[in-house]
Amino acid sequence: MTTNRKRRIKWGFVVFFTPVFLWLLLLIVLPQLELLRLSFVGTGGSGFTLRNYLAFFKEPIYWLTFVRTASYAILVTLIVIVVALPVSFYITKIARVRASGFLMVLLLVPFWVSELIRVYGWMILLRESGVINQLLVRIGLFRQPVEMLYNDVTMIMGLVYTSMLFMVIPVIGVMEGLDDALIEAAYDLGAKKLAIWRTIIIPYCMPGIISGSIIVFMLVLGSYLTPNLMGGKNSLWFTEQIYNQIIIYFNWNQGAAFGFLLLALSSLIIWAVLRLTGQSLKKVIK
């Protein structure tokens, strides 16, 4: 209300501000600070130490997992972009208008189904006794079942599958705003398909691609179920290291250090992407 009767404005402000402030302070800021503090404390509760971080750099298994996780997360993000662009393009620009509404609904339904169930579906399909193996053996293409689960390729496919929609939705969002006349004009001016993609469509969709990339990257980096259930013994994910330290070894200080490293990594990469593309987090998350 645009009155300048101060009393009322203050009252509303206090009611709105207090719970929000407490939420962010008690559940976001202080826990992260505590995570940081504990990561510098030794296992016995002794004083300041860098041991937890040194352990990370000394044990190749730790930092190798870390590097693997980061690079696979980037790889998955890139694959997702490549698949999401034509899908979004088909739905917004090629499919008949009626069909496009239906396809949108169809696209969104799996979005609400939990990651665990979607991964479980793939396990039923792909494992040695799974549906695909049974079918292929039955029609004689395979002589005996092959284990298709528990390897990096399958794991990457699973990660692409579970995070796909977080790219498709923002990209469709911006692509709907792309005026067909721009493509027509480019076509009329003699541009080939590839040139239209390169000069018109992709630059226009950049904000959607960026926000999709950030969400996908974040989700993949922090994913636990998919790598754990679909990846092999050798494809350990960094979140699994954290889980092991906290739940299995009960070494919370080591787990805190790993958690903080993961947080630093995700913040750093998101920050770098935003910097490179000149976007702001506020704009990306609408």
Q: How far is the CB of 124 from another protein (least distance, A)?
A: 6
Indicate the residue among 54 and 281 with the shorter CB distance to another protein: 281
Stretch that binds another protein, among 54-62, 146-154, 177-185, 202-210 (CB under 8 A): 177-185
Question: In sequence order, which residues have a C-beta less than 8 Å from that of residue 61 and are 6 or more positions away?
Answer: 236
Indicate the residue among 38 and 236 with the shorter CB distance to another protein: 38
* 228 near another protein, judged by CB under 8 A: yes
* 59 near another protein, judged by CB under 8 A: no
* 173 near another protein, judged by CB under 8 A: no
Indicate the residue among 96 and 143 with the shorter CB distance to another protein: 96
CA-based torsion, 273, 276, 277, 281: positive or negative: positive
**Site size for another protein, by CB under 8 A?**
99
Out of 170, 218, 227, 231, which residue is the one contacting another protein (CB under 8 A)? 218
Contact positions with another protein (CB under 8 A) in 66-105: 83, 86-87, 90, 93-96, 103-105
* 136 near another protein, judged by CB under 8 A: no
Per the document, the length of the chain is 286
* 194 near another protein, judged by CB under 8 A: no
Q: How far is the CB of 227 from another protein (least distance, A)?
A: 12
Indicate the residue among 49 and 266 with the shorter CB distance to another protein: 266
Q: What is each CA distance from 43 to 66, 131, 244, 245, in whole angstroms?
A: 22, 47, 15, 12
Residue type present at position 13 = F
Tell which residue, 79, 99, 113, has the closest CA to residue 212. Answer: 79
Q: Tell me the Cα Rg of the chain.
A: 24
Question: In sequence order, which residues have a C-beta less than 8 Å from that of residue 195 and are 6 or more positions away?
Answer: 186
Contact positions with another protein (CB under 8 A) in 242-261: 242-243, 246-247, 252, 255-256, 259
* 195 near another protein, judged by CB under 8 A: no
As a three-state string, the secondary structure of 172-223 is HHHHCCCCHHHHHHHHHCCCCHHHHHHHHHHHHHHHHHHHHHHHHHHHHHCC
CA 208-110-68 angle, 5° bins: 65
